[in-house]
A and B are shown apart, each in its own frame.
Chain A
């Protein structure tokens, strides 16, 4: 089931999924695809944390203060460092999910997809 089953509540204006009590599943007919996507997404988070920790080590080293576990834990990135890290992080995310970006770009020239999307309701 790839479609969102919608249950509009005409009297209250509320729209729920048919399975509203459960999380949304977008790849239920290919659960392995959904799980893989979740794992890749989670891994980007782990990479981001590792990179932040490495950046902290480098900055402490450059400051000459030396680093150990306590100093790393106590380090709080100032706003310019946070901005730098987020820029790096977003570039990493864009590289990881590049295939998705390119696939959306490709759609504009796909006449078959357009035909399907414009099918009149039977």
Chain B
């Protein structure tokens, strides 16, 4: 029994392999990484300070020197190996049933999908396979292919280790709606756009709160979007997906009441992010709302280890804008794009939005998956 009709089914041994990937990631995150954090932040950083130096400022040089240590390289290699094993094991599971998945997607009615064989993904998404996912977001075999979507969906729960709403991976969507309810409670969106929707994890959750709304999702991969349409439909939501670049879409001006993004901004670039905000502003009708959810990490508050860990994420988990995004004043960019009443802060993650719930939006940060960074504004 899977959480929705498009989710690939795992055999007994595939499920055991997935569980092992999570165990390995747990060991690395909860056993090994805290030791490096302790060594760097509690042992080395004070030694730097005693010598009149700031280890956090020297994090790049320190990372290069750490990489001379066999134990450090072993941690790096194991962390990459766990990630690669996740994609490999999920890929094998999906490939075993790919024909069935391609066929099943066609039999599930609801929503629409519009792909573009001439589409070229922007460089920040195409230069490397983000998260080490073979083929990245854009891989597409054409025709009825849904492979990349199936792989991404099945792997997402392993990637988040269940902390984003289990196999539905929809907590971020519910959290966006909670932010909307709390801060823009009078908005009754009739048209909604999710930029960088992947397989519609958040899109589908958001659509569930507004049954009369026309909901759209855009991303760069055809296979991702074909899967997304069928996935949303299997969960009872009719979503319209199209293959487009969030910097410049083909939707008319003032077409939407609500434009959102969910953990997308850190996968763009210094020049792309402001363009996406300007495009969101163009797409909104006067009074419309933009809400962006992001990882709750700010570079200037990072310890030495957190900076080194961020560098690892950029270089070895193929997240090239990981650090860049954390240095930006995203609220200021939203204002520059024309938004008013801009909010930048942190929203508690929630598995279900509730208009009557006590407000949780605050300027106080917290751990990833416990809170999310939100930047929103009104046109």
Greatest chain A CB density within 10 A among B23, B51, B61, B67 is at: B23
Expressed in whole angstroms, the Cα–Cα distance for A3 and B68 within the complex equals: 7
- Is the Cβ of A38 less than 8 Å from the Cβ of B81? yes
Do A53 and B13 contact each other (CB < 8 Å), given the known contacts A24-B80, A24-B315, A103-B70? yes
Residues of A within 8 Å of B320, CB to CB, are 9, 14-16, 20
Contact of A20 among B62, B127, B323 (CB under 8 A): B127
Number of B interface residues at 8 Å Cβ cutoff, please give it: 72
Inter-subunit contact A82/B19 (CB<8 Å): yes
Q: Which of B1-46 contact A (CB under 8 A)?
A: 1, 11-13, 15-17, 19-24, 26-27, 31-32, 35-36, 39, 43-44
- Does B209 touch A at the CB level, under 8 Å? no
The answer to whether A6 and B60 have CB atoms under 8 Å apart is yes
B128 touches A15 (CB 8 A): no
Q: Cβ of B357 < 8 Å from any Cβ of A? A: no
Cβ of A2 under 8 Å from chain B: yes
Bound-complex Cα distance A86 to B269 (A): 38
The segment out of B71-79, B137-145, B223-231, B366-374 that lies at the interface is: B71-79
Instruction: Tell me the dominant secondary structure on chain B's binding face.
Output: helix
Q: Is the CB of A108 within 8 A of B43?
A: yes
The verdict on A12 contacting B270 (CB below 8 Å), with A45-B85, A97-B27 known, is yes
Q: Decide yes or no: A45 and B17 within 8 Å by CB, A90-B26, A114-B47 being known contacts.
A: yes
B321 / chain A contacts, CB cutoff of 8 Å: 12-14
Given contacts A41-B24, A73-B11, A113-B69, contact A17 B325 (CB under 8 A): no
Known contacts being A24-B316, A73-B12, is A37 close to B324, with CB within 8 Å? Answer: no
Tell whether A13 pairs with B327 under 8 Å between CB atoms, given A2-B67, A94-B31, A108-B39. Answer: yes
A67 to chain B, nearest CB (A): 12
List of A residues within 8 angstroms of B77 by Cβ: 24, 26-27, 34, 37-38
- In the complex, the answer to whether B81 meets A41 with C-beta atoms within 8 Å is yes
Question: How many of chain A's residues have a CB under 8 angstroms from any CB in B?
Answer: 58
B32 and A100 within 8 A (CB): yes
A15 is contacted by which of B39, B76, B324 (Cβ under 8 Å)? B324
Most B CB atoms within 10 A — which of A4, A27, A74? A4
Report the Cα distance A107→B15, complex, angstroms. Answer: 37
Q: Is the CB of A15 within 8 A of B22?
A: no
Asked if A119 is at the interface of the complex by the 8 Å CB criterion, the answer is yes
User: Would A93 and B24 count as touching, CB distance under 8 A?
Assistant: yes
Q: Is the CB of A90 within 8 A of B27?
A: yes
Check B314–A41 contact: CB distance below 8 A: no
**A residues near B43, Cβ cutoff 8 Å:** 107-108, 114
Additional A-B contact list (12), CB under 8 Å, known A13-B269, A14-B124, A121-B61 = A3-B67, A26-B76, A27-B73, A38-B81, A41-B82, A45-B21, A52-B15, A74-B12, A103-B71, A118-B44, A118-B51, A118-B53
